[in-house]
């Protein structure tokens, strides 16, 4: 993973892998914090990773288009979210 909050990924697949890795780490930390709610070091780590995740997701979507429907703010007269290739579709 990158050490900064940028999306300095070489390509779409690499950027997506970075986002997925951050999401996995956040999920793991959430489970840990559910049982260790006063672990301040882990809370700091979680907050840092949330910031990185949000930045990576925003940068990815600015470059490659929406990744998840919850962050899509497209057309007002049609649901054109489905017009883009799905994130799991391989480019040929």
| Residue 50 burial (CB count, 10 A) | 13
The predicted structure's pLDDT at residue 51: 96
Q: DSSP 3-state assignment of 41?
A: helix
Give domain limits for the chain: 12-74
Encode pLDDT of 24-78 as tens digits: 999 999 999 999 999 999 999 999 999 999 999 999 988 887 787 777 776 677 7
What's this model's pTM, rounded to 2 decimal places?
0.72
Write the CA distances from 19 to 3, 23, 45, 89, integer angstroms: 13, 6, 16, 17
Encoding tokens for residue 75? Answer: 């057309």
């Amino acid at each position: 993973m990158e050490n900064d909050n940028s999306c300095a990924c070489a390509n779409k697949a690499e950027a997506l892998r970075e986002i997925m890795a951050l999401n996995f780490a956040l999920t793991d930390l959430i489970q840990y914090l559910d049982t260790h709610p006063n672990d301040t070091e882990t809370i700091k780590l979680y907050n840092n990773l949330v910031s990185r995740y949000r930045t990576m997701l925003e940068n990815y979507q600015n470059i490659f288009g929406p990744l998840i429907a919850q962050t899509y703010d497209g057309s007002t007269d049609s649901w054109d979210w489905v017009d883009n290739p799905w994130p799991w579709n391989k480019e040929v």
